[in-house]
Amino acid sequence: RPLFHGSTEMEQLNRIFKLCGTPTTLPTSLQSVPTKQYPRQVKKTFEKYGIHECDLLDKMLLLDPQKRITATEILEHPYFTTSPLPLLPEQ
């Protein structure tokens, strides 16, 4: 099931902003789009899945690409070295 399933572009943006928080600055192409100000809810929404899972998802869903976790940092995240360990592809 998609995390941000929307049937229109506005609905899609609204779902992203509800979870990730409304950005303080928008690209020129979105500046005319009316948006409500939402606080960031990623950790609160996914805290039941565990501290490492929630932290990794929170870092992956940062809207600012300069602050978002890189692929290398993802692979070094404690999620991948904390029990229960992920299965190998053949498992």
- Residue that wins the pLDDT comparison between 55 and 22: 55
Per-residue pLDDT tens over the stretch 69-86:
999 999 999 998 988 877
| Average pLDDT over the chain, rounded to an integer | 88
Binned at pLDDT 50, 70 and 90, residue 31 comes out as low
Provide the pLDDT for residue 49.
Answer: 92
Provide the 10 A C-beta neighbour count for residue 17: 20
Global pTM value = 0.79
Q: How far apart are CA 87 and CA 66, in angstroms?
A: 31
Token couple for 78: 């404690």
Give the 3-state DSSP-derived string for 71-85, with helices as H, strands as E and coil as C. Answer: HHHHHCCHHHCCCCC
Assess whether pLDDT exceeds 90 at residue 89. no
Per the CB < 8 A criterion, the answer to whether 58 and 43 are in contact is yes
Report whether the peptide linkage leading into residue 84 is cis, meaning its omega lies within 30 degrees of zero: yes
